[in-house]
């Protein structure tokens, strides 16, 4: 059966089209204030890329913090269940999924059978989330896409002592004023972001395998630090990690 | 005899010169990149106003950012935590005060003092911008008003649009969304001030309230935050006719006088 999963996140809305468990197409756009009206175009884009039409689609399942804004959806699924489903499908023996989105860090712990046994979410604070990186990126005038490349030119890591995005922004500006190099500051920011994520992950206790999903997983300058410092084996998510929850939603839509 | 107190904050630096038992001179300046430079400029300025120099001070105490360095550079004979200084300063102005809510540019503290102005207990937030002056700063910019305007603005609100998050960054996004949907500036300002007060109340509850209560620091100048805090605590806070941002420097000068008296 062909199913569509939609994940309406705080910064981006993602669509994943599946044929049974085969990935047909993905599409992504920024979540605007009028996303409810724009989600139709995103669905059409995914269908076009997958070479199918609306009538071919068995179910549409939506998830994420704006899941209720999708009036085309047949089902709503909790994002924790979607993330767990995506990990169970691609990385079946991975206990912990760290989903790091635009405005939250969600840790999902699964049993070997793939059932969710625990989860924790920090959505109270921008610290360690995509927004944190966005704020720093604006303060430094370096695009987020440039972070990984910029870090390769770092000679050292400038310590960023505060976790608060607002205070970190001021701290970084004072580092710049003191003549610290941009690559060294970005290396420090990646270290600090990784440290925040690690402290969330450690609340679950030791795990044998973990993966990272969500937009922040695209930064190898951050996942590289996790790989070294977070106990357990890091499994890179095999598809674009931003689509994990939407993939899970489409997968759960298969069972409806 | 003259005694000096220097308080370097995140945005402004203050100095107070005491003569006998009254404030003889004071000054407030925006901070310079280096706290020692801020300290030197502000104390020298306060002294110069009265034709004095550093040599005329019997003793001087530094507090706030870089207080140890300021002492090392010889501008002060001793340094003290801002907590003791704000407690002491507020108690000297208002001897009945037992709880001081001090909100500065980058931190918030609730300080409990005894009948002699000595520190009993305190709680502090300097980890998160929520509940500090920085939160109001970020929110004012988002509304396109000054930080001085955001308090009075909320008194013309027709409704209070409270924020769903406490995080300054998330509130910024939320305010943008409300503005796009045509929400009123005053209604948002009222919500921002209430959200701010809510965060401060979390600190107040942790340390507990003993009457009388007063506020110090820059945010004490925001009448809407004051009113929200009074509503939440169910009491009236004491007011005073000294600039609320001077209280830390005043406390430092009072401690300078006491230290000198103990020595002699």
Q: How far is CA B89 from CA A197, A245, B44, B142, B253, in A?
A: 41, 55, 21, 34, 9
Residue A166 in contact with partner chain B when CB distance is under 8 A: yes
Q: Which residue of A has its CA nearest to B107?
A: A167
Return the pLDDT at B235.
Answer: 97
Could you report the per-residue pLDDT of B68-90, keeping only the tens digit for each? 999 999 999 999 999 999 999 99
Given a cut of 80, whether residue B183 has pLDDT beyond it is yes
Note whether A104 and A126 are within 8 A (CB): no
The confidence score (pLDDT) of residue A188 equals 96
Q: Which domains does chain B show, CATH number per domain?
A: 1-94+241-264 (3.30.420.40), 96-239 (3.30.420.40)
Band of residue B109 on the pLDDT scale cut at 50, 70, 90: very high
Label each residue of B77-106 as H, E or C.
Answer: CEECCHHHHHHHHHHHHCCCCCEEEEECCC
Whether B199 has its CB under 8 Å from any CB of chain A: the answer is no
- Average pLDDT value over all residues in chain B: 95
CB within 8 Å: B33 and A126: no
Among A123, A131, A167, the residue with its CB nearest the CB of B129 is A167
The CA–CA distances, whole Å, from A61 to A27, A37, A206, A255, B135 equal 15, 17, 33, 11, 38
The predicted pLDDT at position A65 comes to 87
Domains along chain A with CATH numbers? 1-91+240-256 (3.30.420.40), 93-237 (3.30.420.40)
Look at B169 and A174 and tell me if their CB atoms are within 8 Å: no
Please report the number of interchain residue pairs, chain A to chain B, with beta-carbon separation below 8 angstroms. Answer: 44
- B63 inside 8 A of chain A by CB: no
- Tens digit of each residue's pLDDT, chain A (256 residues): 999 999 999 889 999 999 998 999 999 999 887 888 889 999 999 999 999 999 999 999 999 988 888 899 999 999 999 999 999 999 998 999 999 998 999 999 999 878 999 999 988 899 999 999 999 999 999 999 999 999 999 999 999 999 999 999 999 998 998 899 999 999 999 999 999 999 999 999 999 999 999 999 999 999 999 999 999 999 999 999 999 999 999 999 998 7
pTM for the complete prediction? 0.87
Is B108's pLDDT higher than 80?
yes
pLDDT-derived band at B264 (thresholds 50, 70, 90) equals confident
* Percent of chain B residues topping a pLDDT of 90: 93
CB-based contact B168 A166, cutoff 8 Å: yes
Q: Inter-chain contact A33–B180, Cβ cutoff 8 Å?
A: yes
């Amino acid at each position: 059966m062909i199913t569509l999963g939609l994940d309406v996140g705080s910064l981006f809305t993602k669509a994943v089209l599946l044929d049974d468990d085969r990935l047909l197409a993905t599409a992504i756009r920024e979540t605007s204030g009028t996303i409810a009206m724009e989600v139709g175009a995103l669905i059409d884009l995914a269908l076009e890329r997958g070479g199918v039409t609306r009538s071919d689609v068995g179910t549409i399942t939506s998830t994420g913090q704006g899941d209720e804004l999708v009036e085309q959806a047949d089902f709503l699924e909790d994002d924790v269940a979607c993330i767990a489903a995506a990990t169970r499908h691609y990385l079946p023996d991975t206990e912990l999924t760290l989903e790091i989105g635009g405005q939250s860090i969600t840790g999902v712990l699964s049993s070997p059978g793939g059932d969710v046994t625990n989860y924790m979410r920090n959505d109270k604070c921008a610290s360690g989330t995509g927004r944190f990186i966005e704020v720093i990126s604006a303060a430094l005038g370096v695009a987020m896409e440039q972070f990984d490349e910029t870090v390769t030119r770092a000679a050292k890591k400038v310590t960023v002592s505060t976790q608060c995005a607002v205070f970190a922004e001021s701290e970084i500006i004072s580092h710049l004023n003191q003549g610290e190099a941009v690559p060294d500051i970005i290396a420090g920011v990646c270290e600090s972001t990784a440290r925040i994520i690690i402290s969330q992950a450690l609340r679950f206790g030791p795990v044998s395998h973990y993966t990272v999903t969500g937009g922040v997983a695209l930064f190898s300058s951050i996942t590289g630090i996790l790989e070294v410092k977070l106990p357990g084996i890091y499994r890179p998510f095999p598809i674009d990690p931003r689509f994990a929850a939407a993939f899970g939603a489409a997968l759960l839509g298969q069972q409806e | 005899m003259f005694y000096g107190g220097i308080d370097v904050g995140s945005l402004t630096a203050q100095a107070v010169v005491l003569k006998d038992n009254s404030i003889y001179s004071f000054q407030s300046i925006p901070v310079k990149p280096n706290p020692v430079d801020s300290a030197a400029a502000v104390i020298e300025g306060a002294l110069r106003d009265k034709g004095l120099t550093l040599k005329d001070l019997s003793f001087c105490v530094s507090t706030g950012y870089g207080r140890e360095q300021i002492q090392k550079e010889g501008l002060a004979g001793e340094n003290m935590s801002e907590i003791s200084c704000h407690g002491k300063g507020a108690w000297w102005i208002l001897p009945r005060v037992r709880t001081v809510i001090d909100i500065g540019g980058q931190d918030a503290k609730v300080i409990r003092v005894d009948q002699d102005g000595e520190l009993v207990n305190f709680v502090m937030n300097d980890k998160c911008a929520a509940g500090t002056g920085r939160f109001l700063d970020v929110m004012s910019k988002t509304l396109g008003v000054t930080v001085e305007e955001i308090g009075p603005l909320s008194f013309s609100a027709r409704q209070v649009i409270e924020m769903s998050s406490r995080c300054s960054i998330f509130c910024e996004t939320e305010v943008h969304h409300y503005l796009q949907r045509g929400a009123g500036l005053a209604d948002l300002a009222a919500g921002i001030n209430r959200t701010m007060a809510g965060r401060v109340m979390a600190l107040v509850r942790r340390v507990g309230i003993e009457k009388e209560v007063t506020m110090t620091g820059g945010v004490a100048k925001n009448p809407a935050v004051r009113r929200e805090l009074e509503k939440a605590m169910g009491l009236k806070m004491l007011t005073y006719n000294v600039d609320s941002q001077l209280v830390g420097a005043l406390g430092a000068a009072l401690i300078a006088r006491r230290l000198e008296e103990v020595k002699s």
